[in-house]
Structure 1
Amino acid sequence: MDETYFKVKGEWMFLYRAVDKAENTVDFLLTKRRNKLAAHKFLRKAISNDGCPKVIDIDKSGLNRQAIRTYNKRRLKRIRIRQCKYLNNRVEGDQRFIKWRTQGMLGFKNFESASRTLTGIEIVRMIKKEQVVFPKANYFETFCSLAA
């Protein structure tokens, strides 16, 4: 679990991402603020989509740590926190593709366009990693069904 940042109309926005052991994208969320509430919202979203993990690797971000602790208290779960920068390299390495795709852009003009563009980039990465089962006839139809 990690976050990265993008500029949208001159302001920093934060993209939270989670990647599993096999380097498959678990979930992602673009937020306007980097605070405990945003980290907790992302954690709940990721757990509801992919199930509750036993261990989460994070960097030295205190916000992610607080969000996991809050989740443990509210749900009476026991998710262990590992703060090791070497184990968090999977997420950091996976972010480079998003940064590479957005680096040549002039920037995002509003939050909605940034959210849709980053969602598209993430979905394309998920398809390339063969994370998606193809119920549709082709890649385009699969992409459209995921983006909706």
Structure 2
Amino acid sequence: MHRWVIKLVPLFEKAFRRHKRPVGKSWRMNETYVKVKGQWKYLYRAVDRQGNAVDFRLRAHRDKAAARRYLEKAIDQNGEPDTITVDRSGVNLAALEALNARRSTPIKVRQNKYLNNIVEQDRRAIKRIIKPMMGFKDFRCARIILSGIELNEMNASHP
């Protein structure tokens, strides 16, 4: 079963992204921790105002460069948002400021932990699924399995 998941999820993801419905223009962005080989890795996620998943990305580091790459990928695949709300994380704020420095029309950035409750609650579903797995053994496999879980959540949020 595991081998099928590793082989087929990338194909499902490619097909899903072609038919993904548009998301709202107000995003909530956050990251959460996932254990891979006994070390914490970072799953960057964003949802729109209605709670629809925008995008996700598993990164080895929690720094400005990782957050910026995540944002660039999300914007490329979903269009440019008007507003992005982040919590008090300086990393996400620095990445957004670096992104805005190169744009002619900057994205409005809000830093408020209470407005991010939507994304905080949304990650519970992912944590509930991966907790029994007790971590992942390989970064590549973790990325693929998490992508399958996220795709399932995205599909569930888009009836």
Q: Which band: TM-score by shorter chain?
A: 0.7 to 0.9
Where 2:80 maps in the other structure, the secondary structure is: coil
Instruction: Calculate the TM-score normalised by the size of structure 1.
Output: 0.85
Within 5 A, what are the aligned runs for 1:87-102? 87-102=115-130
Rounded Cα–Cα distance in structure 2 between residues aligned with 1:46 and 1:75: 16
Match of 2:137 among 98, 102, 109: 109
String of CA shifts for 1:81-121, please: whole Å, max 9, x gaps: 11111110010010000000011113200101100110010
Select which of 23, 39, 45 maps to 2:73.
45
Q: Show structure 2 runs of 5+ residues with no match.
A: 1-28
The answer to whether structure 1 residue 14 and structure 2 residue 42 are counterparts is yes
Q: Which amino acid aligns with 1:2?
A: N
Q: Which one-letter code corresponds to 1:11 in the other structure?
A: Q
In percent, how many aligned pairs have the same letter?
49
CA distance in 2, matches of 1:68, 1:77: 13
The two structures have a TM-score, normalised by structure 2, of 0.80
5+ residue gaps, structure 1: 132-148
Aligned-pair Cα RMSD in Å: 1.0
**2 CA distance for matches of 1:19 and 1:63?**
18
Shift of 1:77: 2.6
Map 1:64-75; keep pairs closer than 5 Å. 64-75=92-103
Q: Which runs of 4+ in 1 moved over 4 A?
A: none
Higher RCO (C-alpha under 8 Å, 6+ residues apart): 2
CA–CA distance in structure 1, aligned partners of residues 79 and 39 of structure 2:
33
| Contact 1:71–1:77 under 8 Å retained in 2 | no
In the TM superposition, what is the alpha-carbon distance from 1:52 to its structure 2 partner?
1.1
* Aligned counterpart for 2:82 among listed residues 42, 54, 79: 54
Secondary structure of the 1:103 match is: helix
